[in-house]
Amino acid sequence: MRTLRLILGDQLNHNHSWYRETDDRVTYLMAEMRQETDYVTHHIQKVLGFFQSMRNFAAELEEKGHQVKYFRINDEDNTQQLESIISNTVEATGAECFEYQLPDEYRLDLQLKDITQNLEIKTATADTEHFLTSREELTEFFKGKKQLLMESFYRYMRKKHNILMDGKEPEGGKWNYDKSNRKKWKGEPEIPHERGFRKDLSGLLKEIEDAGIETIGTVDAALFSWPTSRADALSVLNYFCKNLLVHFGDYQDAMHTKEKFLFHSRISFALNTKMIGPAETLEKVIGYYRENSGEIQLSQVEGFVRQVLGWREYMRGIYWKEMPSYANRNELDNKNPLPSFFWDAETRMNCLHHSIKQSLEDAYAHHIQRLMITGNYALLAQTDPAEVDQWYLGIYIDAIEWVELTNTRGMSQFADGGLLATKPYVSSANYINKMGNYCSECKYSHTKKTGENACPFNSLYWNFLHEKRSYFKDNQRMSLMLSLLDKIEPDELKAIRERAADVIRNPGNF
């Protein structure tokens, strides 16, 4: 039977069972489509990274003897729409069966279900063979429970996969070393240069420009630095183990104006495109830790395991449990527009300037920059979460909806009303100053709430608590902050609220 198999741009899994044997009757279909470049405005490095990774994957399949039909963005027979590309290729190849791997985005899942209903040949689906959980596993785990807690799911995953376990107990006697992962980096220890690449993608950039694709951000296409093949991805992972893991946990929440990447692995793009998998990633990192346990502490590796085994799988589980309604949740009823400086970094707030400028230049910011700088500001300014979604989904090279949406609507913007996180991730300038050096080089004072040189985060923070207090009055984790709010004198609170209103109304002035 002649079979056509679809491979999406985030399904670049070399170890998938599909590819164990070659068969001339099987054709693999891949396509660069305006459908995918245009549903949100993406960073130019994201479009380059996906297209180049897809092309490399297709070439490697062909080298192994597989039949591949690949549509480049400007090919004359590329209709740019998934349904017509599939139907045209079915006809051209004489396929009697169409198969696809289950997508990780809800919109594509719906689209492919509709497409297969219109095909007059047999159809079948396959798992992507990537994640450590099924789509429904989290839903089943929390069935009958009153609250979702990532920590309980993380412990379940540790036990299920026997990762960092000593029998039935966690290795080292503790499940979580989060309190050891909050050190401020002050110039020591020395941070090795990131494992980047110097790929010349100038030709591909011209193709994208010729196609008229609208993008954001900047790129030096002659020195493209992201992994675009499995070999690249494994190289980045190995570099992380040998050079960065030793201090990863300690400084994973730190921020610094002179260091964009600190000790972070920068493998999320490779993971989310499936060029490498979570199981092999964890095996490599833990294996290296075992071989070097005299040098590397358990707290360093546990922080990494928690992100890949706990956080990543948890976010995906929430996505499939709550979609499609999750994408429209706005429990705090926030409606303000996203400030224009999110698109050009033109703000005098040093933390926001650096975090956004880095995002525009590198299509990257680490999780605390995303959560406690850009996300914190957007929530305190009571920004419409739909606008925040669009920005995060477009600007980061690793942003795919299943992971972006849950992090933005849930963890960052509390738009799900506490389904994912038990309290909002908001802070005044005190936390930002505690975790980095942004405040020491800023025109605004991190200690002042009012006045022209007072940090906007401070007035926004107390104003947010005041405006949303009725929503949080029964939240035990917010009781301390609400009690501190009550101790602010009325005249001072009035000045704080006036300052916050000015920041929200005129963000370009700050």
If we measure between CA atoms, which residue out of 456, 461, 435 comes closest to residue 379? 461
Whole-number pLDDT of residue 261: 94
Q: Which residues sit opposite 398 in a β-bridge? A: none
CA distance 379 to 334: 8
Q: Report the C-alpha gap between 501 and 381 in whole angstroms.
A: 9
Q: What is the pLDDT of residues 311-320, one digit of tens each?
A: 999 999 999 9
What pLDDT does 180 receive?
79
DSSP 49-112: HHHHHHHHHHHHHHHTT-EEEEE-TT-TT--S-HHHHHHHHHHHHT-SEEEEEPPSSHHHHHHH
The DSSP element (H or E) to which 6 belongs, if any, is strand 3-6
Alpha-carbon distance of 309 to 271, in angstroms, equals: 12
Query: Exposed/middle/buried for 197, CB within 10 Å: 0-12, 13-18, 19+?
Result: middle
Give pTM, 2 decimals: 0.95
**Region 2-26: what's the mean pLDDT?**
97
Tokens of 450: 């009012």
- Does position 147 have pLDDT exceeding 90, yes or no? no
Q: Give, in degrees to the nearest 5, the angle at Cα 103 between 97 and 104.
A: 170
Q: Which of 183-197, 207-221, 396-410 has the lowest mean pLDDT?
A: 183-197
- For residues 310 and 312, give the distance between their C-alpha atoms in angstroms, rounded to a whole number: 6
| pLDDT at 182 (0 to 100) | 82
- According to the model, what pLDDT value does residue 231 have? 97
CA-to-CA dists, residue 475 to 67, 263, 412, 413, 478, angstroms: 57, 35, 17, 16, 5
What is the rounded CA–CA span in Å between residue 200 and residue 20? Answer: 31
pLDDT at 317: 97
Mean pLDDT of 68-87: 97
CA-CA distance, 235 to 231, in Å (whole number)?
6
Give the whole-angstrom CA distance, residue 258 versus residue 508.
Answer: 25
Q: How far apart are CA 464 and CA 143, in angstroms?
A: 33
DSSP H/E element including 400: none
Question: Regarding beta strands 97-101 and 122-126, do their DSSP bridges make them parallel or antiparallel, or are they unpaired?
Answer: parallel
Confidence at 510, pLDDT banded by 50, 70, 90: very high
Indicate the average pLDDT of the chain. Answer: 96
Q: Give pLDDT tens digits for 448-489.
A: 999 999 999 999 999 999 999 999 999 999 999 999 999 999
**Given this model, what pLDDT does residue 179 score?**
82
Q: What percent of the chain is helix, strand and coil (3-state, nearest 5)?
A: 55, 10, 40
The answer on pLDDT for 386 being more than 90 is yes
What are the structure tokens assigned to 410, written together? 């849930």
| pLDDT 10s digits, 164-193 | 999 999 999 999 988 878 889 999 999 998
Percent of the chain with pLDDT over 90: 95
CB 266 within 8 A of CB 320: no
As a whole number of angstroms, the distance between CA 390 and CA 337 comes to: 12
Contacts of residue 83, defined as CB under 8 A and 6 or more positions apart, other chains included, come to: 111, 114, 115, 118
pLDDT number for residue 178 = 82
Whole-angstrom CA distances from 462 to 370, 484, 495 are 21, 10, 11
Q: CB of 98 within 8 A of CB of 121?
A: yes
Directed axis angle between helix 44-63 and helix 202-210, to 10°? 110
